[in-house]
Structure 1
Amino acid sequence: MPSTVVHCALAGLLAAALLGPAFDRRAVAVVLLVTVVPDLDVFSGVVLPGTHRALLHTLLVPALVGGLVVYDTRLRERSWLLGRHGWWGVRVAWVAVLAYAFAGIGLDLFVGGANPLYPLHDQFYRFSGSIEYSTQRGWVQTFVEVAPPETASGGGAGGRGAPTVDAGQLGSTAEVHVSSGVDPSRGAEPADVDRVFPVVRSGWQLLLVLTSLVALAGRAVESRRPDRL
């Protein structure tokens, strides 16, 4: 599972790329803080078993917030966000929404697993696979695989039954427990349980963190240039 450090690294790249003239320390801080929010459901899992990577990892949260930003800035006669923070606030709000969805939730969804439509659809998914071009098979993707009715029904006459779709389903909150340093296993743990709080767990994660630091540092230097556009 990616650590909060890795999530913030991806969010930092989004901030460096998308904040534009709104880039400053306060804007970056807002984007990073918003990115941390989904991981706070690690504490909910202690009280509500199975809700780690579900309660705040639902895409309904950024969808709702994005809808509120559209309503406030496009449909209301007087925008609260524009009135309080101007164009800077609108830009930062949209980048924060994207960071929540892609850096906060998306990274877990593609690497470890998350419950992206909770509570409307209680199912953990892990989108793992590949997309490639083969000179013999053409374009091939394995993220979502569909088995024909013959396979789904055990090869019965006439191919009765419905196709089965494998999109990386892992189970519901009643079946899945995502281990963490706060809650290593479902239920009570022994007093000497090993609690692991990861920082980086692979070479690509370390590379992402280092790349984000370089990108943010470079963007900060660029933003201080008096002749910048």
Structure 2
Amino acid sequence: MPSTVVHVAFGALVATAFLREFDARALAAVCAFTALPDLDTFLGVWIHGGHRALLHTALLPLLLGAVVVWDGRRADSWLRDRFGARGHHVAGVGVLALTLGGIGPDLTTNGVNLFYPLHDQFYAFSGRLELSSTEGVVQTFVELGEDGDTARGTTETVHYWTGVDVKRGPDPEGAERVFPIVSSGLQLLVVVVAAAGVFGRFREANR
């Protein structure tokens, strides 16, 4: 599963692509948005099935995005008063990073409870898209039929292990706790590319 390090790397890539003014403060804000969903790792200790549901729902970026837009239309804008003219831009990039870097990687790896709490069902869009000379276009990302596995279960039946919460209910005494950093060569590459992108943007900003 993608670690918080990998999520933040995705967020940093979004920041390097979309931030107009690139500095440490703006980068930190965007990366904080990206890491936000992983806080439900800790909430899941007390709320069974809460990990990848409570803060991995698509309703979170929709709600935060609506708040940013609403605040931007107010004469006494909270973001503008505290963070200046670029406050709404940075927050908007943060919401985008939360969606693409905070929720997206988990949605394509094992799954998230995408519409929680309105609809309690974990979905995983992990598969392939290919062009076959005999079958034409083949995709396995969305398979909701009897043989499909896009739908993965509900908060009553699904538990994603973490180093914080090894299993549903009390963890076994002496259980091994693993905290992934990168779990594949592709994840390592994402982290390296993100670091290179951040370095490049800082170099350009300081010229």
The aligned runs of 1:55-66 (5 Å cut-off) are 55-66=54-65
The aligned runs of 1:173-192 (5 Å cut-off) are 173-192=155-174
Distance in 1, matches of 2:53 and 2:176, equals: 24
Q: Which residue pairs with 2:5 in the alignment?
A: 5
1:144–1:165 Cα contact (<8 Å) kept = no
The structure, 1 or 2, with the larger RCO (C-alpha pairs under 8 Å, 6+ apart) is 2
In the TM superposition, what whole-angstrom CA distance separates every residue of 1:3-35 from its partner, at most 9, and x where no partner exists? Answer: 000001111110111102x21100001111121
Q: Decide which structure has the larger Cα Rg and report it.
A: 1
Percent of pairs with identical residues: 52
Q: CA deviation at 1:82?
A: 2.8
Equivalent of residue 188 in structure 2, options 199, 206, 224 = 206
Q: Which residue pairs with 1:34 in the alignment?
A: 33
Q: Which residue pairs with 1:152 in the alignment?
A: none
Q: Is 1:88 aligned to 2:70, yes or no? A: no
Distance in 2, matches of 1:165 and 1:122, equals: 20
Change (3 A) 1:189 1:77: closer
Amino acid of the structure 2 residue aligned with 1:218: G
Q: Which residue pairs with 1:111 in the alignment?
A: 109
Gaps of 5+ in 1: 148-163
Q: CA deviation at 1:165?
A: 8.6
Q: Which residue pairs with 1:16 in the alignment?
A: 16
Q: Which residue pairs with 2:153 in the alignment?
A: 171
Q: CA deviation at 1:167?
A: 6.0
2:65–2:92 Cα contact (<8 Å) kept = yes
1:130–1:142 Cα contact (<8 Å) kept = yes
Amino acid of the structure 1 residue aligned with 2:199: A
What TM-score does the superposition give when structure 1 sets the normalisation length?
0.85
Deviates more, 1:200-209 or 1:81-90: 81-90
For the aligned residue pairs, the C-alpha RMSD in angstroms reads: 1.6
Aligned length: 207
SS in 1 for 2:2: coil
Amino acid of the structure 2 residue aligned with 1:133: L
What TM-score does the superposition give when structure 2 sets the normalisation length?
0.94
Q: Which residue pairs with 1:52 in the alignment?
A: 51
Q: CA deviation at 1:81?
A: 2.4
